[in-house]
Amino acid sequence: MSPQTTTAPTPAVATARRLAEELLAPHAAAVEAAGAVPRSHLEALAQAGLRAVDGDDALAVVEELAAGDLATAFVWIQQVGVARWLEAGSAADGRWATQLDDLRAGRTHAGIALQAALRPGPAAVVARRLTQDDDGDGWVLDGAVPWVTGWGLLDALLLTARDGEEVLFLLLDLRTVRDGDGDIPRLRAEALPLAAVRASRTVQLHLDGVHVGAGQLVARAQHAALLAGDAAGLRPNGSLALGLVLRCVRALGDGGGTAQHVERATALAAELDAVRQQLDAAGPAELPAARAAAVDLAWRAAATLSLTTGSSAVISGSLAERTVREALFLLVFGSRPAIREALLDGLLPGAH
């Protein structure tokens, strides 16, 4: 992947950078105060063709968006995950081609709730296979999804549920449920009072006997196999942390800064390139350490921005204040035991 700080950006990354600077960053504080990423933000990004971008470019796009507004980038990155599962589900027979096209064109927005059935231990959401007596072909879902991001913006949700030792990936069309019932019976969202990325519209989702048809099944796999392969999928969320660092590099190096600030911006940019390269080169065994390095850098970058800002960094709504709160989010979001241990070891060396 091309490190945006040292080489010319690709056209997609240049577009993401422009939108982040002209649309996302100027409105980020107001968007947070309003508590909701506007749908128009997602539409503007999709209309610029950013949904169709994949591979390394997609990661670089997430990084640029996160530099502008982490909440918007966080909602955005969910689509990347959904698209990957739909692609895999479509590989054989193109079954999800329409949904994939709609998602890529920005006609629809989708979220992803993996933790409900993927994390180790008992599942937060369980599926019971419908029998002939139930008069249907599919499953009934019960439980509570601890975190669902983008609620109110989403047309569809890729939800996991556990049926015995198997994990089901089910695409819920939230528009159908809403249009059909006026309300969402059996599906209740509880707002979470977030200290950071408030605008991500993250909720806890309670499911009380939600029926899903067999046709909504995108994929199924053994829980043990998914856990064994989990580390391989840790790269994309690392771009959120890289984006926060990129924001700090730019803020420190901004026109008004002193020579010392510019020097620190240069040092931070060099660390950013090194951590990005570490993430890009990492295989599954190295990814937890690389993710921890990215989060550690984001944390230090946010502290550096605060120190160079001075006491006005504690004023609510200032860039430094929001960035520090977002660094806290990155410290705990999308974590795994190996990431957490690497971070704790760095904070308190030799204390375990």
Ligand X SMILES: Cc1cc2nc3c(=O)[nH]c(=O)nc-3n(C[C@H](O)[C@H](O)[C@H](O)COP(=O)(O)OP(=O)(O)OC[C@H]3O[C@@H](n4cnc5c(N)ncnc54)[C@H](O)[C@@H]3O)c2cc1C
User: Interface residues with ligand X (CB under 6 A)?
Assistant: 78, 111-115, 118-120, 147-149, 194, 197, 202, 227, 230, 332-337
Helices then strands, each counted (H, E), the chain: 14, 8
Residue closer to ligand X (CB basis): 227 or 307: 227
Residue closer to ligand X (CB basis): 9 or 143: 143
Rounded to whole angstroms, the Cα distance separating 309 from 184 reads 46
Contact 267, 209 (CB under 8 A): no
Q: Please, what is the minimum distance in Å from the beta carbon of residue 195 to ligand X?
A: 9
> Which residues does 198 contact at the CB level (< 8 Å), separation at least 6?
32, 35, 71
Nearest in space to 248 (alpha carbons), one of 194, 324, 195: 324
Rounded to whole angstroms, the Cα distance separating 344 from 332 reads 12
Q: Which two tokens stand for residue 226?
A: 């998914």
Residue closer to ligand X (CB basis): 99 or 202: 202
Q: Please, what is the minimum distance in Å from the beta carbon of residue 307 to ligand X?
A: 26
Residue closer to ligand X (CB basis): 249 or 289: 289
Residue closer to ligand X (CB basis): 26 or 229: 229
Q: Please, what is the minimum distance in Å from the beta carbon of residue 135 to ligand X?
A: 32
Work out the number of other CB atoms within 10 angstroms of the CB of residue 226: 18
Q: Which two tokens stand for residue 81?
A: 């995950």
Residue closer to ligand X (CB basis): 205 or 269: 205
Contact 18, 26 (CB under 8 A): no
Q: Please, what is the minimum distance in Å from the beta carbon of residue 207 to ligand X?
A: 14
Residue closer to ligand X (CB basis): 268 or 287: 287
Q: Please, what is the minimum distance in Å from the beta carbon of residue 95 to ligand X?
A: 23
Backbone conformation region of residue 259, classed left if phi is above 0, alpha if psi is from -120 to 50, else beta: alpha
Q: Please, what is the minimum distance in Å from the beta carbon of residue 104 to ligand X?
A: 20
Q: Please, what is the minimum distance in Å from the beta carbon of residue 286 to ligand X?
A: 16
Q: Which two tokens stand for residue 132?
A: 């002939």
